[in-house]
Amino acid sequence: MSRFEYAPAPESRAIVDIKSSYGLFINGQFTDATDGKPFKTVSPASEEVLAEVSEAGPADVDKAVRAARKAFEKVWGPMSGKDRAKYLFRIARLIQERSRELAVLESLDNGKPIRESRDVDIPLVAAHFFYYAGWADKLEYAGVGDDPQPWGVAGQVIPWNFPMLMLAWKIAPALAAGNTVVLKPAETTPLTALAFAEICQQADLPPGVVNIVTGAGRTGQALVEHEGVDKVAFTGSTEVGRAIAKSVAGTHKAVTLELGGKAANIVFEDAPIDQTIEGIVNGIFFNQGHVCCAGSRLLVQESVYDEVLARLKRRMGTLRVGDPLDKNTDIGAINSAAQLAKIRELSQIGEDEGAERWSPECELPAHGYWFPPTVFTGVSQAHRIAREEIFGPVLSVLTFRTPQEAVEKANNTPFGLSAGIWTDKGSRILWMANQLRAGVVWANTFNRFDPTSPFGGYKESGYGREGGRHGLEAYLAH
Amino acid sequence: MTTLDSGVDSLADVTSSEDRLRRFLLGLPGVDQVGAEARAATLGTRSIKTTAKAYALDLAISMIDLTTLEGQDTPGKIRALCAKAKRPDPADPTAPQVAAVCVYPDLVATAKHELKGSGISVASVATAFPSGRSSLAIKVQDTKDAVAAGADDVDMVIDRGAFLSGRYGLVFDEITAIREAAGDAHLKVILETGELVTYDNVRRASWLAMLAGADFIKTSTGKVSPAATLPVTLVMLEAVRDYHEATGLHIGVKPAGGIRTAKDAIKYLVTVNETAGPDWLDPELFRFGASSLLNDLLMQRTKLATGNYPGPDYFTLD
Amino acid sequence: MRKTYKLYIGGAFPRSESGRSYVVSNAKGKFLANASQASRKDARDAVVAARKAFTGWHGRTAYNRGQVLYRIAEVMEGRHQQFSAEVSASEGLSISKARAVVDESIDRWVWYAGWADKLAQVVGSSNPVAGPYFDFSLPEATGVVAVLAPQDSSLLGLTSVIAPAIVSGNTVVAVSSFERPLPAITLGEVMATSDVPGGVVNILTGSASEVGPWLASHMDVNAIDLCGIVDPEEATELEIAAADNLKRVRRPAEEDWSADQGMSRLTQYLELKTVWHPIGV
Domains of chain C: 32-278 (3.40.605.10)
Instruction: Report if residue A47 sits inside a domain.
Output: yes
Residue range of the domain that includes A168? 21-259+458-477
Q: Which amino acid is at C202?
A: N
Whether A242 and A381 map to the same domain: the answer is no
From the candidates A12, A100, A275, A422, which should be mutated to test the interface with B, based on the most B CB atoms within 10 A?
A275
Closest Cβ opposite residue B1 in set A275, A307, A318: A307
pLDDT at site C1: 65
* A353 reaches B (C-beta below 8 A): no
* C130 reaches B (C-beta below 8 A): no
Q: What is the CATH number of the domain that holds A402?
A: 3.40.309.10
Whether B2 shows a pLDDT value over 50: the answer reads no
Per-residue pLDDT of A24-44, as tens digits, reads 999 999 999 998 789 999 999
Whether CATH 3.30.56.10 fits B7-306: no
Whether A316 and A398 map to the same domain: the answer is yes
> Are the Cβ atoms of B33 and C133 closer than 8 angstroms?
no
Evaluated on CA atoms C46, C52, C55, C56, the torsion sign reads: negative
Average pLDDT over residues A391-408: 98
Q: Are the CB atoms for C279 and C129 separated by under 8 Å?
A: no
Per-residue pLDDT of A99-154, as tens digits, reads 999 999 999 999 999 999 999 999 999 999 999 999 999 999 999 888 999 999 99
CB atoms within 10 A of CB B51: 14
> Are the Cβ atoms of C245 and A414 closer than 8 angstroms?
yes
* A31 reaches B (C-beta below 8 A): no
Closest Cβ opposite residue A9 in set B49, B273, B278: B49
Confidence of residue B6 (pLDDT cuts 50, 70, 90): very low
> Are the Cβ atoms of A306 and B5 closer than 8 angstroms?
yes
Share of chain C above pLDDT 70, in %: 100
Q: How many residues comprise chain A?
A: 478
pLDDT at site B9: 57
pLDDT at site A83: 98
pLDDT at site B7: 45
Helices (H) and strands (E) in chain B, counts: 14, 8
Whether A207 and A129 map to the same domain: the answer is yes
Minimum distance, in Å, between the CA of residue B259 and any CA atom of chain A: 20
Whether A234 and A301 map to the same domain: the answer is no
Closest Cβ opposite residue C246 in set A250, A433, A459: A459
SS3 A63: helix
pLDDT at site A1: 46
Minimum distance, in Å, between the CA of residue C51 and any CA atom of chain A: 14
> Are the Cβ atoms of B35 and C133 closer than 8 angstroms?
no
Q: Which amino acid is at A62?
A: D
Whether A180 and A298 map to the same domain: the answer is no
Confidence of residue A478 (pLDDT cuts 50, 70, 90): confident
Closest CA to B59 of B95, B103, B100: B95
Whether B308 shows a pLDDT value over 90: the answer reads yes
Minimum distance, in Å, between the CA of residue B106 and any CA atom of chain A: 38
Per-residue pLDDT of A163-191, as tens digits, reads 999 999 999 999 999 999 999 999 999 99
How far is Cα A225 from Cα A223, in angstroms, rounded to an integer? Answer: 5
Element (DSSP H or E) covering residue C272: strand C270-278
Closest CA to C140 of A440, B35, B153: A440
CB atoms within 10 A of CB A302: 12
Q: What residues have CB less than 8 Å from A251, skipping those under 6 apart?
A: none
Whether A315 and A431 map to the same domain: the answer is yes
Per-residue pLDDT of B53-66, as tens digits, reads 999 999 999 999 99
* C279 reaches B (C-beta below 8 A): yes
pLDDT at site C167: 98
From the candidates A412, A452, A461, which should be mutated to test the interface with C, based on the most C CB atoms within 10 A?
A452
How far is Cα A150 from Cα A134, in angstroms, rounded to an integer? Answer: 16
DSSP structure class, residue A209:
S
Q: What residues have CB less than 8 Å from A189, skipping those under 6 apart?
A: A41, A106, A109, A110, A160, A163, A335
> Are the Cβ atoms of C137 and A468 closer than 8 angstroms?
yes
Confidence of residue B318 (pLDDT cuts 50, 70, 90): confident
Average pLDDT over residues A70-89: 98
Peptide bond into B130 cis (omega under 30): yes
From the candidates A265, A274, A277, which should be mutated to test the interface with B, based on the most B CB atoms within 10 A?
A274
Whether A302 and A250 map to the same domain: the answer is no
Please state the domain extents for chain B.
Answer: 7-306
Confidence of residue B4 (pLDDT cuts 50, 70, 90): very low
ipTM summary value:
0.97
Average pLDDT over residues A379-399: 96
Whether A255 and A282 map to the same domain: the answer is no
Between the alpha carbon of residue B66 and those of residues B78, B268, B292, C4, the distances in Å are 10, 17, 9, 97
Per-residue pLDDT of A205-222, as tens digits, reads 999 999 999 999 999 999
Q: Which residues of C touch A461 (CB under 8 A)?
A: 246
DSSP structure class, residue C182:
H
> Are the Cβ atoms of B34 and A119 closer than 8 angstroms?
no
Neighbouring chains of A at 3+ CB pairs under 8 Å are B, C
Query: Would the pTM of this model clear 0.80, i.e. be above it?
Result: yes
Per-residue pLDDT of C61-100, as tens digits, reads 999 999 999 999 999 999 999 999 999 999 999 999 999 9
**3-state helix/strand/coil string of A386-414:** HHCCCCCCEEEEEEECCHHHHHHHHHCCC
Per-residue pLDDT of A216-273, as tens digits, reads 999 999 999 999 999 999 999 999 999 999 999 999 999 999 999 999 999 999 999 9
Q: Which residues of B touch A318 (CB under 8 A)?
A: 274
Per-residue pLDDT of A324-371, as tens digits, reads 999 999 999 999 999 999 999 999 999 999 999 999 998 999 999 999
Q: What is the CATH number of the domain that holds A69?
A: 3.40.605.10
How far is Cα B105 from Cα B123, in angstroms, rounded to an integer? Answer: 9
Instruction: Pinpoint the alpha helices (H) of chain B.
Output: 7-14, 18-26, 33-43, 50-62, 75-86, 108-115, 136-148, 160-164, 168-182, 193-196, 199-211, 230-247, 262-275, 293-306
Q: Which residues of B touch A311 (CB under 8 A)?
A: 4
Whether A287 and A353 map to the same domain: the answer is yes
> Are the Cβ atoms of B197 and C133 closer than 8 angstroms?
no
Whether B1 shows a pLDDT value over 60: the answer reads no
How far is Cα A50 from Cα A13, in angstroms, rounded to an integer? Answer: 12
SS3 C3: coil
Whether A226 and A303 map to the same domain: the answer is no
Per-residue pLDDT of B85-132, as tens digits, reads 999 999 999 999 999 999 999 999 999 999 999 999 999 999 999 999
Q: Which residues of B touch A302 (CB under 8 A)?
A: none
Q: Which amino acid is at A331?
A: I
How far is Cα B122 from Cα A461, in angstroms, rounded to an integer? Answer: 64
Per-residue pLDDT of B264-305, as tens digits, reads 999 999 999 999 999 999 999 999 999 999 999 999 999 999
Closest CA to A269 of B4, B91, B205: B4
Instruction: Report if residue A451 sits inside a domain.
Output: no
Catalytic position from the list A11, A106, A116, A258 = A258
Whether B74 shows a pLDDT value over 50: the answer reads yes
DSSP assignment of C27-78 = TTS-EEEEEE---HHHHHHHHHHHHHHHHHHHHS-HHHHHHHHHHHHHHHHH
Minimum distance, in Å, between the CA of residue C131 and any CA atom of chain B: 9
Confidence of residue B10 (pLDDT cuts 50, 70, 90): confident
pLDDT at site A3: 81
DSSP structure class, residue A331:
B
Q: Which amino acid is at B60?
A: A
Average pLDDT over residues C177-205: 97
* C246 reaches B (C-beta below 8 A): no
Closest Cβ opposite residue A318 in set B30, B35, B274: B274
Whether B191 shows a pLDDT value over 50: the answer reads yes
Closest residue on chain A to C281 (Cα): A424
Q: How many CB pairs under 8 A join A and B?
A: 84
Instruction: Report if residue A92 sits inside a domain.
Output: yes
Q: What pairing do the DSSP bridges indicate for beta strands C31-36 and C21-25?
A: antiparallel
Average pLDDT over residues C21-29: 94
* C-alpha neighbours within 13 Å on the C-beta side of residue A244: 34
Minimum distance, in Å, between the CA of residue A82 and any CA atom of chain C: 23
pLDDT at site C3: 78
CB atoms within 10 A of CB A47: 12
DSSP structure class, residue C196:
P
Question: How many independent structural domains does chain A possess?
Answer: 2
Instruction: Report if residue A35 sits inside a domain.
Output: yes
Q: What residues have CB less than 8 Å from B37, skipping those under 6 apart?
A: B231, C280
